[in-house]
A and B are shown apart, each in its own frame.
Chain A
Amino acid sequence: MAIPISYNIRNLRLRVGATMMTALGIALTVSVAVFIMALLAGLKKAFVSSGDPLNVLVLRKASQTELQSGVDRASYDTIKYLPGVAKDKAGDPLASPEVVVVIVLPRNDNSGETNVTVRGMSSTGFELRPKIGLVEGRWFNAGQREIVVSKSISKRFRNAAIGNELFFGKGKWRVVGVFDAGDTAASSEIWADVNQMASDFERNSAFSSVLVHATDPIAAQGLKNRVADDQRLALDAFAEPDYYAEQTKSGAPIQFVGTIVAIVMAIGSCFAAMNTMYAAVAYRSREIATLRILGFSRPSIIASFVFESVLLALLGAALGLLLMLPFNGLTTGTANALTFSETVFSVRITLAVMITAILFAVTMGLFGGIAPAWHASRREILSALRD
């Protein structure tokens, strides 16, 4: 027969001091793990949800990012009339030549400067990104020194609100609109007219990349192969989502450091939990002997103590999650290893993060509880009663 759960709960309550101290120790470990996982979850979301599968991004061969790439104007004319490129209502191909540069902007909170991506695009560029909508102001006009910025850029950087002027390239640019790109990579970008950008940054001979929209998935595949195989063009093409997914590896340093931190802290917490459970076992040795006499078997005593330890860890997990909840949705940025600029993302305590955190705590509780529980069940009944 199993020992009732209420026995464990009462025991934890009886030794409130020790219980809380151990649980808080576990909570700290859990909260560090949660924070790191939430950072990674946010970063991953920013890249994985970016891009339309029908959009094909054309770069120069061997370039891995738009920043390194160059596509000359003649190639652009060839690409936009390739079969499989969708047409808009007026019958023009849905293709946007883009110029991508990185500029340095000062952050709002005086925490220094960081690189920001500025993308010059034709007005077709908006049509190719239908999910991204304006929340304030209007789109830039072709031929004007106007820019639209993402919501997070407008919040995080100095002089980036509507009506302000940013200085880069050869002069000032007026902020005329703010767009909401959700959690996608574009939420770290500034958009401007491609020709203005090309002249400011002396990119008149070549664009950085060309984005085209395919009529259907098969056409998208065909376009990709056609561009990549054409020896004259010396270009390469990627489905837009694949291009962004590759950038998820920017999170590698956080993941590497975070995993080490979480594992080391977890081992430390395991020992602490073990300590508390040993103390609980020592304190209750007479009680355990009594339980044995009453007929509870050794396995049920092991189960009961392991359960108590897991309960302790669960309390810690709950506390840890509670501690980190205020950080959910916090916007932050990190360097993107490939685009060389800052990627803005939010800290996301997703369901998966929570479940992982709870499993993480349960593992700590299990490891911390097994040895003390084993010792508890092995004690001689008579000598324990005499204690």
Chain B
Amino acid sequence: MTLGRFATKNAFRNRRRSFLTAVSIAFSLLLLTLLMSVYRGFYLDQGPPESALRLITRHKVSLVFFLPSYYREKIRTIPGVVHVSPWNWFGGIYKDNKPENQFAQFGVDPNEIFEILSENHVPPDQLEAFKHDRAGAAVNRALAEKHGWKPGDKVIVQGTIYPLKLELNIRAIYDTDNAFDSMLFSTEYIEQALPRVKGRTGTFYTLVDTAGHVTTVSKAIDEMFANSPQPTKTETEKGFTLSFVAQLGNVKLFILSICGAVVFAILLVSGNTMAMTIRERTREVAVLKTLGFTRGTILSLYIGEAVTLSLLGGLLGATGATLLMIVASKMPNGTFFTGFKVNSPTYLAALAVAALVGFVSAIFPSYNASRRNIVDGLRHIG
């Protein structure tokens, strides 16, 4: 029997205890994996490479103020800018206010928007149809499937910011990696229905030619309008999204402190189990020592056992989290989770945490056990 086999056999000697410990660790790690994925999605992921080339320009004071539409042509003159499109939040209601019926609507320029959102795939004939219908709409596939929309269907969206009811024809269905449901339509529709908003644009979406130009272009845009009555603030797509996350409150601290609590909780569970296990085997340790096993070997035996157990819990938890994430993103209230996935680095990180916790939790009890005097150990009753 090898030492590794000895450790794994020992880990399952008390089946019930091992099972309970592993399950307890699994639940905590499930949570940890979920939180790490959310954290990664918010703060670490850079999105598709195209995303880094896109800038969003808004009114400096706040998103709720409009910019003059002629800014678009001025932005276009800046060297490095390839495409610019208006990007107007419509904020409409489809059917009712229920969460499952909520999606974003944006007024855009159909001729340019898919050049900017270049990683999204639209069938060429549908794109043509979208460009040629002033009441046309383009929706992402998931949204179309959710509501059973096909090209040619009519969809009515009631405006809340604009006193206006959009009657749109679905013209294009595009494929995207972005998990947020959105509907794009021609911003001209709003302008023609409500002449008073003509010439006003909420934000501009800009595509820059190379990554090297992103910073200079974004600076150039803001400098161009710095002394005008409507100064601008230009951010990368990621920066723009993060500013929404920042408004939810101190999300970073919130996630990190829950992660801390979870890791500490598993440490307690695993440590408790190892302390109980090793205490029960005091006599066995003495016997092993009498047989000639060194202290180092005994130490590694018990640590190996703890790591086996917590890794098992980790595997269960991380796998569970991966599945749960997929299920949760499909629930009507789970829009929070769309866009987050457990990827392999996160999965491995969760396993690493599990192994580390197993290791740390076993160190003290096994060190004490390995130090114990043989004669005392043999005499031990318990």
Binding site for B on A (CB under 8 A): 17-18, 21-22, 24-25, 28-29, 31-32, 60-65, 67-68, 70, 101-104, 111-115, 168-170, 201, 234, 252-253, 256-257, 260-261, 264-265, 267-272, 274-276, 278-279, 332-335, 340, 342
Contacts and interface: CB of A to CB of B under 8 A. Distances in A.
A267 B27 contact: yes
Interface string B120-164: 000000000000000000000000000000000000001111010
A252 to B, nearest CB: 8
B163 A62 contact: yes
Contacts of A267: 27
Q: Which 3 pairs from chain A and chain B are nearest by CB? A: A268-B27, A271-B24, A335-B247
Interface in B91-109: 91, 93, 97
A28 B261 CA distance: 6
27 contacts: A17-B275, A21-B268, A21-B272, A25-B265, A25-B268, A25-B272, A28-B261, A28-B265, A29-B265, A62-B160, A68-B160, A68-B161, A101-B62, A101-B64, A102-B64, A115-B247, A201-B65, A252-B333, A257-B336, A260-B31, A265-B261, A269-B265, A271-B23, A272-B24, A272-B269, A275-B21, A278-B20
Nearest to B19: A271
Interface in B345-377: none
Contacts of B20: 271-272, 274-275, 278
B61 A279 contact: no
A62 B264 contact: no
B161 A265 contact: no
Contacts of B276: 18, 279
B269 A25 contact: yes
Given A234-B163, A340-B64, A256 B336 contact: yes
A268 B24 contact: yes
Given A279-B276, A340-B64, A261 B31 contact: yes
B262 interface: yes
Interface in B12-65: 16-17, 20-21, 23-28, 30-31, 34-35, 60-65
Chain B interface size range: 35 or more
Contacts of A264: 27-28, 30-31
B250 interface: yes
Contact of B27 (A18, A115, A257, A271): A271
Q: Indicate the member of A17, A22, A272, A276 with the most B CB atoms within 10 Å.
A: A272
Contacts, number: 147
B1 interface: no
Interface of B: 16-17, 20-21, 23-28, 30-31, 34-35, 60-65, 91, 93, 97, 158-161, 163, 229, 243-244, 246-250, 258, 261-262, 264-266, 268-269, 271-273, 275-276, 328, 333-334, 336
Nearest to A170: B229
B262 A265 contact: yes
B160 A64 contact: yes
Contacts of A275: 17, 20-21, 24, 269, 272-273
A113 B266 CA distance: 36
A333 B248 CA distance: 7
A189 B91 CA distance: 23
Nearest to A70: B163
Contacts of B248: 253, 334-335
B61 A169 contact: yes
A154 B23 CA distance: 49
Contact of B64 (A64, A67, A265, A274): A67
B243 A113 contact: yes
Contacts of A274: 20
A18 B279 CA distance: 12
A115 B160 contact: no
Q: Indicate the member of A111, A260, A271, A335 with the most B CB atoms within 10 Å.
A: A271
Contacts of A18: 272, 275-276
Q: Indicate the member of A22, A61, A62 with the most B CB atoms within 10 Å.
A: A62
B61 A104 contact: yes
Nearest to A336: B247
A256 B31 CA distance: 14
Given A272-B24, A275-B17, A335 B244 contact: yes
Given A25-B268, A62-B159, 19 more contacts: A18-B275, A21-B268, A22-B272, A25-B272, A32-B258, A64-B97, A65-B160, A101-B62, A102-B64, A111-B250, A115-B62, A115-B63, A256-B333, A261-B31, A271-B20, A271-B23, A275-B272, A278-B16, A334-B247
